[in-house]
Amino acid sequence: MSRALSFHLGLIAVLLVLQFVLPAYHHGNLARVMVLAVYAMGYNIMFGYTGLLSLGHAMFFTAGMYGMGMSVRLWEMPVGVAFVLGVVIAAVFSLIVGLLALRTIGVAFMIVTLMFSQAVFLTILYFNPVTRGDEGFVIPQPVRQIAGIDLSDATNRYFAALILFSVCLLAVLALVRSPTGRVLIAIRENEERARMLGYDTWAHKLGAVVMSGTMAGAAGAAYGALFGSVGASFAEVPFSILPLLYVLLGGPGTVIGPFVGTLFMFYLRDLSSTLTDAHMLVAGVVLILLTLYARRGIMGLIRERWLKWLP
């Protein structure tokens, strides 16, 4: 077993142990952080590894969330099936978005993703009678169970979040150490050169968008299933900025970075909420400071200084 693999398995083991020792409040927080970290890890595949900056990732999150939520609400599907459906919808949706948006590069790509995401948000508002628009809807507690396991119970919820998180963490680890992952990094570093070497960069970028969108969709579907709320606020622009913030803080292009960033940001916001209600102020200040002084993020700095082998 390689160093990198044991490092990440170690993280999962620590999270497993924490389940039994954490006080209730932090226990609940950590379950939420893990689901949001899955969202950020998906984002990291595109931004951190492939160098594609998306400003509209909330659309993939919402595709999963509403794909899951609407199937429960309208067709009374069991949550497990609805979750899978939500992930599939997010995958198909990210394929369509990727096919269109990847025709652009650079700033235009960022704006196209922003516009698509905004269109998704407005569409949810427009179909207010079906989606309940801004208010959103609650997935009732009795429905939130898979194979008889109640997902609204704190322990079960933590385990469900941990399973999803572990699967995604190991999947990203496997991806970035595979030949495909190497090509993605090559595209980030120099797309022209990667193409010259004979790699189909367009297909690889499309693959990155689909993987990234699907993972974000899985996070969205899980968020709805575990915490019971589905709403249009998850489709708004600030929610697209959050994974960017998490990844920049934790370290773009590191497997563990998105989790570290999410954890830090979550508690920073928690601490600042005692001082002010304007919680996005912290996000703004951190974004500016990161771009000015710490482009590599926390794990990026640690990799540079001490752990050179960190994937």
Near another protein in 220-249, by CB under 8 A: 237-238, 241, 244, 248
Q: Is 156 in the site for another protein (CB under 8 A)?
A: no
x/- letters, 55..74, toward another protein (CB under 8 A): x-------------------
Near another protein in 245-274, by CB under 8 A: 248
Q: Is 292 in the site for another protein (CB under 8 A)?
A: yes
Q: At what angle do helices 237-250 and 106-126 cross, to 10 degrees?
A: 140
CA neighbours closer than 13 Å in the CB half-sphere of residue 300: 19
Q: Least CB distance from residue 294 to another protein, whole Å? A: 12
Q: Is 96 in the site for another protein (CB under 8 A)?
A: no
Q: Is 152 in the site for another protein (CB under 8 A)?
A: no
**By C-alpha distance, which of 225, 71, 72, 62 is closest to 157?**
225
Q: Could you give the CA distance from residue 98 to residue 94 in angstroms, rounded to a whole number? A: 6
Q: Could you give the CA distance from residue 105 to residue 110 in angstroms, rounded to a whole number? A: 8
Near another protein in 107-136, by CB under 8 A: 107-108, 110-112, 114-116, 118-119, 122-123, 125-126
Which tokens hold the place of 211? 């993987």
Mode of pairing for the β-strands spanning 149-150 and 145-146: antiparallel
**By C-alpha distance, which of 2, 37, 34, 29 is closest to 254?**
37
Contact set with another protein (CB under 8 A): 53, 55, 100-101, 103-104, 106-108, 110-112, 114-116, 118-119, 122-123, 125-126, 237-238, 241, 244, 248, 276-281, 283-288, 290-292, 295
